[in-house]
Amino acid sequence: MKSGHRDPGAGTASVPRVRLTREQSRAQTRERLLAAARGVFARRGFHGASVDEIASEAGFSTGALYSNFDGKEDLFLVLMEREIDEHAREIAEAVRARASVAERARGGARQWMTMIEREPDVLLLFMEFWAYGVRDPQVRPNVAARFAQIRAVLTSLIADGVRELDLELAIPAEELAVAIDALADGIARQKLADPQAVPDELMGRVLSLLLAAATRPAGGTGTHSGG
């Protein structure tokens, strides 16, 4: 069989280039900037990161960054909100559809410990920005809003669990959410500082005890929450 030169265009289909709308292009630019910011913030910390490095890593000028965000602080707040949404989704998936308060506590705690191990830089960023924000009266409301976002997710999970498991709470769900959030933050700080001092199952055990004390069967007078 005689062989010949292959036509470079043979057997290949030309793929038409899709022209993005202005809104699509802007959304794509924002996503690239946020992805770059996540990496730079993780490496440098909030204070060490610069808009120049973030823009460069995303492949844009600083002008593109400032046309999409008000600056480093605004960029960080948007990124923090996205991270909270993602972590909240993972926690919710680990908690829902479990048969008891104790199982939900253990499931949520396991997921939190997994996130500490998987993304320690993100948690350190949250702590760094919290320390920065509470010192500045102008920034503090934005920081408070992000932490309120976390408490709202926890409050919703508590309310869902109480309803689905036919329980009553000894204290308001919002206050219980504050306590759980504080426990999670404290465990994270201890685990990051001294991993060997904090067993992975510790948070699940403590959270189970807390929820057992804070819940009781609907219409009952005890504090038993069920297995």
pLDDT of 83-102, one tens digit each?
Answer: 888 888 899 899 887 889 99
* Together in a domain, 149 and 91: yes
| Among candidate residues 69, 104, 133, the one where a domain is terminated | 69
Tell me, yes or no, whether 227 lies in a domain: no
* Together in a domain, 100 and 205: yes
CA 36-42-82 angle, 5° bins:
65
Q: Which single residue is written with the structure tokens 């702590």?
A: 127
Question: Of 134, 172, 181, which Cα lies nearest the Cα of 153?
Answer: 181
For the chain, how many structural domains are there in total?
Answer: 2
What element of type H or E holds 216? strand 215-217
Q: Which single residue is written with the structure tokens 């189970």?
A: 208
Q: What is the CATH number of the domain that holds 39?
A: 1.10.10.60
Q: What pLDDT score was predicted for residue 53? A: 97
What element of type H or E holds 168? strand 167-169
| Among candidate residues 69, 95, 127, the one where a domain is terminated | 69
* Together in a domain, 33 and 84: no
Whether pLDDT at 122 is above 70: yes
Whether pLDDT at 15 is above 90: no
Give 18 or 142, the one with higher predicted confidence.
142
Chain centroid to CA 44 = 19
Q: What percent of the chain has pLDDT over 70?
A: 89
- Domain range enclosing 138: 72-217
**Burial group, residue 218, by CB count within 10 angstroms (0-12, 13-18, 19+):** exposed
Q: What is the CATH number of the domain that holds 118?
A: 1.10.357.10
* Together in a domain, 56 and 113: no
Tell me, yes or no, whether 224 lies in a domain: no
* Together in a domain, 52 and 90: no
Whether pLDDT at 17 is above 80: no
* DSSP type of residue 200: T
